[in-house]
Amino acid sequence: MSDWIADGHPLCVRRADPKEPPSREVIALGLARPGRQRMAVAADRAAVVRNESPPRVESIVSMAPPAWRDVLESLALGECHAGVDMCVFGSLAWQAMTGLRYLHPDSDIDVLATVHDERALDDVVDLLCEQAERAPTRLDGEIVFPGDHAVAWREWAKGADAVLVKHVAGVALRPRAWLLERFACEVHAT
């Protein structure tokens, strides 16, 4: 792993294992190597030299397989219209960040769409549904609500009364209304 870090390759934040003792000084990180090799690590927060968001959709279009580019361009354009921040994660992000080969024939397009209000939420769900129909591979990912609470966009689009909400602190089944309340909490916090 020291070679990985010495080469300037990233690690990603992950949820801590419940067996790991909670600590403000230690951060739970993950490493994904090509070939679906994953490793959980922990590091002192003071050892973190850089903190970046995942790559923006528009920044990786030219690095994506040619068959994916139209869908990614449409997502990048739709991102501006919908008023969301859209990034990629998974194989495409790891390949873009490291220059190593992560994509394989079964790879999907993984996106994170961060929304700040209900109008943007509705617009991005419509956009993702539309692009999923035309994508040459599975379009997967999550909608990120205020407070970094995320839900699979496909699950949200189905309209279930309760959805699985993911957060760095844990995972819980929550009512849709609980997530929608996050918008009001964000307005009061600013």
Can you tell me the distance from the alpha carbon of 175 to that of 91, in angstroms, rounded to the nearest whole number? 31
Catalytic site residue from 7, 17, 70, 110: 110
Annotation says 85 is catalytic: no
pTM: 0.88
Judge whether residue 189 has pLDDT over 70. no
Among residues 31, 80, 35, the alpha carbon closest in space to that of 56 is found at 80
The per-residue pLDDT for 186 is 63
pLDDT tens digits, 123-157? 999 999 999 999 999 999 999 999 999 999 999 99
Catalytic site residue from 85, 108, 117, 140: 108
The per-residue pLDDT for 23 is 76
- Give the CA distances from residue 185 to residues 17, 85, 165, in Å, rounded to whole numbers and listed in that order: 28, 19, 17
Judge whether residue 73 has pLDDT over 60. yes
Judge whether residue 95 has pLDDT over 90. yes
The per-residue pLDDT for 24 is 80
Judge whether residue 7 has pLDDT over 80. yes
Compute the mean pLDDT over every residue in the chain, rounded to the nearest whole number.
90
Residue 64: count of CB within 10 angstroms of its CB: 20
Annotation says 108 is catalytic: yes
- pLDDT tier for residue 179 given thresholds of 50, 70 and 90: very high
- pLDDT tier for residue 8 given thresholds of 50, 70 and 90: confident
Q: Where are the domains of the chain?
A: 2-47, 57-189
- Give the CA distances from residue 73 to residues 61, 80, 93, 170, 182, in Å, rounded to whole numbers and listed in that order: 7, 11, 16, 33, 29
The per-residue pLDDT for 108 is 96
